[in-house]
Structure 1
Amino acid sequence: MMKKHELFAGGHRLAAATWGEIGAGRPTIVMMHGGLDCITTWKDLPQALAEASGWPVLAYDRFGYGRSERLVGGREPSYRREEAGPVLGEVLCHFGIRQTLMFGHSDGGAMSVLAAAAHPELVCGVLACSPTIALDQFMVNAMSGARRAFEHEGLRDKLKRHHGDNTDTMFWGWYEPWASPSALQWDMSAEIAAVRCPVAALFGSDDEYGWRPSAVSLFQNGRMPLEVTALPAVGHHPQQRERGETIAMLQRLLGRIERNPSKNQ
């Protein structure tokens, strides 16, 4: 059963939801949503993850999203490090979470990897779906399609069902940092190299934002136990389009965590 929560982290009011009882000696799966998403866009995935793992699940709306406090001002790409570092640390502390498996999508997938580097004593594994880890011109160009959809093709109304009055500031706060040519300077290779817990990355080969640069960055910089899968004829949301493969990848990741108990103390 889902329970709703509110908390303060990073100086802002955040909305959160849990499935199952956090604590009880088990790690918690913590979900980091994508750049246009929130708790409700996960649909029934949190419950499915809880059932497949036997672990409790926490999802929360990052600052500016869903039911959380409205964003004021814009964002710089560095927000990823802030969200994955100190803000996530406050969220975990609020719920008393001492071990977590990070499950992230897109923007949140990249932040889940950053979280493993920022909190090595807390993060025992990462499952990242379509993580936008390394950016190229293809992705920067793809942002224009998102803007067109938002302004002219009904995306704004669709997003408003999830984000309400946060919709406009949420969209532009995501769009502006990654639509700029300066986005190509984004580099998290040092954090990838610092991660030691097992990481699984699930991509779709037809991802409209691209996927190869991010996969290559994981292979080139990663020193952790790593599994990377690209599913044919799947776009940017493999966690929804290919639920069976997502759950199977989660279960393989759980097996690697269990074989490495030092990360699960």
Structure 2
Amino acid sequence: MMKKNEMKEHELFAGGHRLAATTWGDVGNGQPTIVMMHGGLDCITTWKDLPQVLAEASGWPVLAYDRYGYGRSESLVGGREPSYRREEAGPVLGEVLRHFGIHKALMFGHSDGGAMSVLAAAAHPELVCGVFACSPTMAVDQFMVDAMAVARRAFEQDGLREKLRRHHGDNTDTMFWGWYEPWASPQALQWDMSVELAAVRCPVSVLFGNDDEYGWRPSAIALFRHGLMPLEVTALPGVGHHPQQRARGETRSMLQRLFCRIGRSPSAESKNADQ
């Protein structure tokens, strides 16, 4: 019998590619699960201990996986178009959820993965019961496009490549350019997910940092302009692009409020998981 919040590594095929995944707790068999979608330069290991923290705070099992081209998953071949977000959040995520037998998911995403988590709620309304998005880049302005040049300089000259290699190994270069090229182009300004924002009906919690180096106001405006879902938005002063790591207390508090809004009590879930 699996111990509560026990960590286990997996491999699966989704979207035609081999993916690596890690679970905390007994994922599957119809269990409601927190499903984590990492950012554009991230993977399972860059979440650090956050999956374990979420499992303990919620009483729900947690699934995190390396998307195609990231971490321990299959290496990216060719580039990406911005539409990869819809592919990953739609059919690929659907295959992942089916593989693990997940019929109810709370999506927890950061940055690129935060935007995908919202797209997932629109693509899978019968499966996604809530979304927690940290610094989701749901709308793109010139400030974000310009920030990509800073990221490129950090990768080529300032040691970012070596830091990323610790997590992505041989995937590092193709991973970086697969993320950089779609969002550094002026065509990135045409990215629009207003239709999906308007389609989401489950509760959504969004946590921004006021000092986000990629910007956050356009995404917040898009949420308020197009979103019809029950919504909580917080922007923390003195916090950058990683509020889930820099503001753990607020992250946990917002998660508990989100569980209450979807009609699930974290304390009750944890008690039931102990029985």
TM-score (norm 1): 0.97
Q: What's 1:108 paired with?
A: 113
CA drift of 1:22 comes to: 1.3
> 2-side partners of 1:233 and 1:24: how far apart?
42
Provide, for residues 163-195 of structure 1, a one-character-per-residue CA deviation record: whole Å limited to 9, x for no partner.
Answer: 000000000000000000000000000000000
The SS at the match of 1:219 is helix
> 1-side partners of 2:249 and 2:211: how far apart?
18
Q: What's 1:174 paired with?
A: 179
Match of 1:125 among 120, 125, 130: 130
CA drift of 1:89 comes to: 0.1
The SS at the match of 1:258 is coil
The SS at the match of 2:67 is coil
Q: What's 2:91 paired with?
A: 86
The SS at the match of 2:235 is strand
CA drift of 1:25 comes to: 5.4
**Residue type at the aligned position of 2:141:** D
> 2-side partners of 1:167 and 1:155: how far apart?
10
Q: What's 1:241 paired with?
A: 246
> 1-side partners of 2:74 and 2:178: how far apart?
14
Q: Is the 8 A contact 2:119 2:197 kept in 1?
A: yes
How high is the sequence identity, in percent, across the aligned residues? 84
Whether 1:38 and 2:43 are equivalent positions in the alignment is yes
Match of 2:255 among 250, 253, 259: 250
Q: CA RMSD in A?
A: 1.0
What is the 5 A alignment of 1:177-196? Answer: 177-196=182-201
CA drift of 1:23 comes to: 3.6
TM-score (norm 2): 0.93
Match of 1:67 among 72, 81, 84: 72
Match of 1:4 among 5, 9, 13: 9
CA drift of 1:2 comes to: 1.0
> 2-side partners of 1:180 and 1:135: how far apart?
11
> 2-side partners of 1:34 and 1:234: how far apart?
17
CA drift of 1:12 comes to: 0.0
Gap change, CA 1:95 and 1:24, over 3 Å in 2: closer
Provide, for residues 6-45 of structure 1, a one-character-per-residue CA deviation record: whole Å limited to 9, x for no partner.
Answer: 0000000000000000146541000000000000000000
Q: What's 2:23 paired with?
A: 18
Q: Which runs of 4+ in 1 moved over 2 A?
A: 23-26
Q: What's 1:230 paired with?
A: 235
Match of 2:164 among 159, 176, 187: 159
Whether 1:51 and 2:56 are equivalent positions in the alignment is yes
Q: What's 1:146 paired with?
A: 151
> 1-side partners of 2:15 and 2:118: how far apart?
19
Provide, for residues 194-215 of structure 1, a one-character-per-residue CA deviation record: whole Å limited to 9, x for no partner.
Answer: 0000000000000000000000
What 5-or-longer segments of structure 2 have no aligned partner?
1-5, 265-275
**Residue type at the aligned position of 1:117:** A
